[in-house]
Amino acid sequence: MSDKITRGTANVFADLGYADAGERQTKTRLALEINGLIKARRLKQAEAGEILGVPQPKISALANYRLDGFSVERLMAFLTALNQDVEIIIRPRRDRQAGRVLVSAVR
């Protein structure tokens, strides 16, 4: 057994070798915010489904971070339905590396 420690990147999905790591990380971050809002408002899954316009099983999938059935756009629409503004900022990278998508929340 090796005692070697490997430092990961900021994206666990990239560390695991997923080709769509950026999209997975973006979806997870958006879902984290949605789930936090649902919890803070003490909404039942059926109530959240009514607000978001989806059946309760979709809310269950979202709550369990099974996100393959959701697009980034749909998750952003959920946030706006929960009275959140979603702002997209495009800017050049200074280090000439490939661009990335970052999701941050302001409370």
Would you state the CATH architecture of domain 18-107? Orthogonal Bundle (1.10)
Asked whether 37 and 84 are in contact (CB, 8 A), the reply is: yes
pLDDT score at 2: 66
pTM > 0.85: no
The predicted-structure confidence for 37-92, as pLDDT tens digits, reads as follows 999 999 999 999 999 999 999 999 999 999 999 999 999 999 999 999 998 888 88
Distance (Å, whole) CA 13 – CA 26:
11
Distance (Å, whole) CA 1 – CA 18:
26
| b/e per residue 65-87 (b: at least 16 CB within 10 A) | eebeebebebbbebbeebeeeee
Distance (Å, whole) CA 27 – CA 22:
9
